[in-house]
Amino acid sequence: MPSSEFEQEPQQFERLQKVLARAGIGSRRVCEKLIVEQRVTVDGKISELGEKVNPEVSQIEIDGLKIGVRQDLVYYLLNKPIGTITTSKDPQERSTVIDLVPAHPRVFPVGRLDADTEGLILLTNDGDLTHYLTHPSFGVEKEYLVQVEVKPSRNAIRELRQGVELEDGVTAPAKVSLVDEKLLKIVIHEGRNRQVRRMCESVGHPVIRLVRSRIGPIVDSSLHPGAFRELKNQELKSIRKILLKDFSNGPLNHSF
């Protein structure tokens, strides 16, 4: 029985720095530097400069963070319209976010928005990135524009900032600002069910309209409701930069 290495077609193997660069990690030079600094592993082993990998099967990590390098990986940014639901399949046959993006390759939403919430949501077939973006330990920020009925008092804003008592516990400190008379901007890094609605309700300001305007570094005010686009390499890179920073527990001394 030939070893798995010999079962691969030779052209499936490519230089690691080329594979990393294509995945949006940085220029080849930057990727080479990461390899030299021994921050890259391939299938659990520290990689060497010049090493060849098969992007379809090799498990590549930088600073312990899994990096999706398969060529079939796609990353969509969708502006979810009101009324569309986030689950992949709805028993009531309502329209879902999956209906708004290409059917192949099959993608899944990263986290969820309520049916009555609008705004940005990512969809991808990169399970590792989904995990990192939704796992509370990475604390990726999500920004919401929140319309309320009457101008919130300073006290209400202070409470929202400090954390409010909900039935599933006190919320983490949030960034909260008043952008207009009845419009709040709230940035949270937790992802509890209907969290922003429940936070606002708990300080006496039921939400009239809720729009997610940012996911980590990703913004796009020109994307119309129902429209989607692929993430740019630069955007993917900026997401990974945040994750790597959190993962390595301190600022990186590299410009990715």
Is the Cβ of residue 17 or residue 195 nearer to ligand URA in the bound state? 195
Is the Cβ of residue 114 or residue 141 nearer to ligand URA in the bound state? 114
Q: Does 117 bind ligand URA (CB under 6 A)?
A: yes
Nearest-angstrom CA–CA distance, 187 and 199: 12
Is the Cβ of residue 192 or residue 237 nearer to ligand URA in the bound state? 192
Nearest-angstrom CA–CA distance, 8 and 91: 42
Let me know: does 142 contact 185? Beta carbons within 8 Å.
Answer: no
Residue 103 DSSP class: S
Q: Does 146 bind ligand URA (CB under 6 A)?
A: no
Nearest-angstrom CA–CA distance, 21 and 37: 16
Among residues 16, 20, 67, 196, which is the contact residue for ligand URA, using CB under 6 A?
196
Q: Does 161 bind ligand URA (CB under 6 A)?
A: no
Shortest CA distance to 170 belongs to which of 131, 212, 206, 199? 199
Nearest-angstrom CA–CA distance, 61 and 129: 12
Residue 78 C-beta: closest distance to ligand URA, Å: 14
Q: Does 189 bind ligand URA (CB under 6 A)?
A: no
Q: Does 101 bind ligand URA (CB under 6 A)?
A: no
Ordered alpha helix ranges (H), 68-138:
127-134
Let me know: does 173 contact 163? Beta carbons within 8 Å.
Answer: yes
> Which residues are catalytic, by number?
114
Residue 70 C-beta: closest distance to ligand URA, Å: 30
Among residues 195, 215, 228, 240, which is the contact residue for ligand URA, using CB under 6 A?
195
Let me know: does 21 contact 69? Beta carbons within 8 Å.
Answer: no
> How many CA atoms does the CB half-sphere of 125 hold within 13 Å?
13
Residue 114 C-beta: closest distance to ligand URA, Å: 4
Choose one: 19-27, 31-39, 113-121, 165-173; the region binding ligand URA (CB under 6 A): 113-121
Q: Does 79 bind ligand URA (CB under 6 A)?
A: no
> What residues make contact with ligand URA under the rule CB under 6 A?
113-114, 117, 194-197, 210
